[in-house]
Amino acid sequence: MRLRNITGARELIGNSEFVIHDPEGQKGNWHGIFGNNNPIHIEIGMGKGRFIMDMAKAHADINYVGIEKYSSVLLRAVQKMEQDPLANVRFIRMDAESIAEVFGKEEIGRIYLNFSDPWPKDRHAKRRLPSREFLGRYDKILEKGGHLEFKTDNEDLFRFAMEELEPAGWRAKKVTFDLHHDAEMLEGNIMTEYEERFSAMGNAIYKYVIER
């Protein structure tokens, strides 16, 4: 996914009105950024941003913040927004490890993780976005009654994510091992770039919805 050698990516991102450049300074003030009191939903590791922008078009009464670690990837989302601006979307370029320094207590209504990097080596387990360490960070920013949705085609990562729930104090509300053949969970599904690619290859898509 990481695109290299894109000249000027940092400059383009640095000048974009859709990117929040001092996210820590906005802690507790995200509704002010959007100028309304609509719920704020975030996607962590949004890649090129197709999912979050399609969600924003489908749900104009929700504010969306897309988080991506790499400028070279975020650039693609910024370019799309410049062409087709959406008032209810903003982006942050950051490592989600410091997410609790960017959003205040219960400031977020829902969290999406889509096709998160698997980090297959055991010693890198803490870097996996559905790990107990990350669930602890999400716990700080997610409102009471809010939930987190995770999709992947990676069976090992999904099983790991399920095992992390109990020790982190979360529980599964809904689970499917084949989203695209689960009529109830598929309702309203918006495909991500990776989801389209991997489901076209015949891979099953796993999904859970969790709460604490």
Least Cβ distance, residue 93 to ligand SAM (angstroms): 8
Given candidates 40, 53, 56, 67, which one binds ligand SAM under the rule CB under 6 A? 67
* CA distance linking residue 138 with residue 65, whole number of Å: 14
**166 vs 177 by CB, closer to ligand SAM:** 177
Report yes or no: 54 and 189 within 8 Å, Cβ to Cβ: no
- 95 part of the interface to ligand SAM, by CB under 6 A: yes
**The one-letter amino acid at 191:** M
Given candidates 75, 81, 96, 135, which one binds ligand SAM under the rule CB under 6 A? 96
Least Cβ distance, residue 87 to ligand SAM (angstroms): 22
> Beta 40-44 vs 171-176: how paired, if at all?
unpaired
- 64 part of the interface to ligand SAM, by CB under 6 A: no
- 114 part of the interface to ligand SAM, by CB under 6 A: yes
Least Cβ distance, residue 171 to ligand SAM (angstroms): 24
Given candidates 73, 89, 205, 210, which one binds ligand SAM under the rule CB under 6 A? 73
The helix/strand/coil state of 200 is: helix
Identify whether 95 is a catalytic site residue.
Answer: no
3-state SS of 51-87? HHHHHHHHCCCCEEEEEECCHHHHHHHHHHHHHCCCC
- 69 part of the interface to ligand SAM, by CB under 6 A: yes
* CA distance linking residue 212 with residue 199, whole number of Å: 30
* CA distance linking residue 14 with residue 75, whole number of Å: 10
- 101 part of the interface to ligand SAM, by CB under 6 A: no
- By rule CB under 6 A, what count of residues binds ligand SAM? 21
- 24 part of the interface to ligand SAM, by CB under 6 A: no
Residue 75 to residues 45, 80, 113, Cα–Cα distance (Å): 13, 9, 19
**89 vs 145 by CB, closer to ligand SAM:** 89
Which residues ranging from 121 to 180 are in contact with ligand SAM (CB under 6 A)?
Answer: none
Helices (H), ranges, the chain: 9-14, 30-34, 50-58, 71-83, 132-141, 155-168, 183-186, 193-200
Please pick, among 61, 95, 117, 178, the residue that the annotation labels catalytic: 117
Residues in the chain: 212
Least Cβ distance, residue 211 to ligand SAM (angstroms): 21
Contact set with ligand SAM (CB under 6 A): 1, 44-47, 67-70, 73, 95-97, 114-117, 192-195
Write out the catalytic residue numbers.
117
